[in-house]
């Protein structure tokens, strides 16, 4: 099993919207992937409430059967579309992929 965790810090303004609106749009876009991409085994999107400077704004936790399934997810057209939006509204990203 592969666990894929991604965290983002968002821009204050991007794509004609403020940070809060972009977080909600991104959360909705990410959550929609679960029904569109069969490789996803578990999927959770969380919005941070911690005001610490070290905190990230949004987190994605997901699980895949193996590295190949994660690779297929990453090039899936629906994921690519979400990633294009994310690159426009996020200013920083951290990712961890690990195998159990």
How far apart are alpha carbons 33 and 27 in whole angstroms?
Answer: 10
For residues 74 and 86, the answer to whether their CB atoms sit within 8 Å is no
Whose structure tokens read 């929609």?
32
Give pLDDT, residue 96.
98
Whose structure tokens read 């057209």?
77
How far apart are alpha carbons 21 and 38 in whole angstroms?
Answer: 28
Q: Which domains does the chain have, with CATH numbers?
A: 2-99 (3.30.70.100)
Mean pLDDT by runs of 10 across the 100 residues of the chain is 98 98 98 98 98 96 98 98 98 98
Q: What is the pTM of this model?
A: 0.94
Give pLDDT, residue 79.
98
Give pLDDT, residue 75.
98
Give pLDDT, residue 63.
98
């Amino acid at each position: 099993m592969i666990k894929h965790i991604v965290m983002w810090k968002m821009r204050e303004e991007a794509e004609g919207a403020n940070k809060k609106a972009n977080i909600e749009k991104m959360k909705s876009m990410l959550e929609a992937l679960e029904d569109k991409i069969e490789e996803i085994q578990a999927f959770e999107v969380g919005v941070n409430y911690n005001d610490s400077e070290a905190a990230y704004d949004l987190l994605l936790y997901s699980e895949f059967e193996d590295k190949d399934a994660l690779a297929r997810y990453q090039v899936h057209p629906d994921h690519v579309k979400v990633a294009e939006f994310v690159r426009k509204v996020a200013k920083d990203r951290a990712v961890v992929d690990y195998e159990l």
